[in-house]
Chains A and B, each alone.
Chain A
Amino acid sequence: AQSVAQPEDQVNVAEGNPLTVKCTYSVSGNPYLFWYVQYPNRGLQFLLKYITGDNLVKGSYGFEAEFNKSQTSFHLKKPSALVSDSALYFCAVRDYNFNKFYFGSGTKLNVKP
């Protein structure tokens, strides 16, 4: 069965500092991994994906994620956080049958001025 885990309910970081939001996954077969962001009362917005290739994936709004097969992790990173990055972040894995995304429980990112 496919699943993802986000071990931190909340991450606090000061504006300008680097941020990391953690995600680990469990899949049978090749992992197809995604990060989404959700602002209050809005749907989820796609940030980036890992399908194959380079382990460092770059996405929207300056975010990047590092795929680590040995640690089964796909952590989201940004070199310099902005207050506007404060939101709920979800890691997801797509089922090898293509038709389901399994989402983590989400991590609330708080960036303080």
Chain B
Amino acid sequence: HLVESGGGVVQPGTSLRLSCAASGFTFRSYGMHWIRQAPGKGLEWVAYMWKAEDNGHYADSVKGRFTISRDNSKNTLFLQMNSLKVEDTAVYYCVRGSSAGSAPFDYWGQGTLVTVSS
């Protein structure tokens, strides 16, 4: 079970932090992704983190502005979004990645909407 929160309406250039609370599985054993979907558009992978000490991997469109992190003690994934742009407007999904013996992208949260507008 994955539950995102933290979305909202913000102005361009500002920041927002998304959270994803995980339950029902051993969170620390799985890589985790953020994937987004702009209104009426397709799916775009945003960021991935395997271990908490990793730097994470990012789409070119968000590199240098977004930071993925996780707190395994709280079973929570985060996405710090800085210098937000109008084109970052999207529903952001938290998605379970891979683990030993488990194929990734099997569980998705309900999504949280981020709207960047002046």
Q: Is the A/B pair a real complex?
A: no
- Residues on B lying within 8 angstroms of A by beta carbon are none
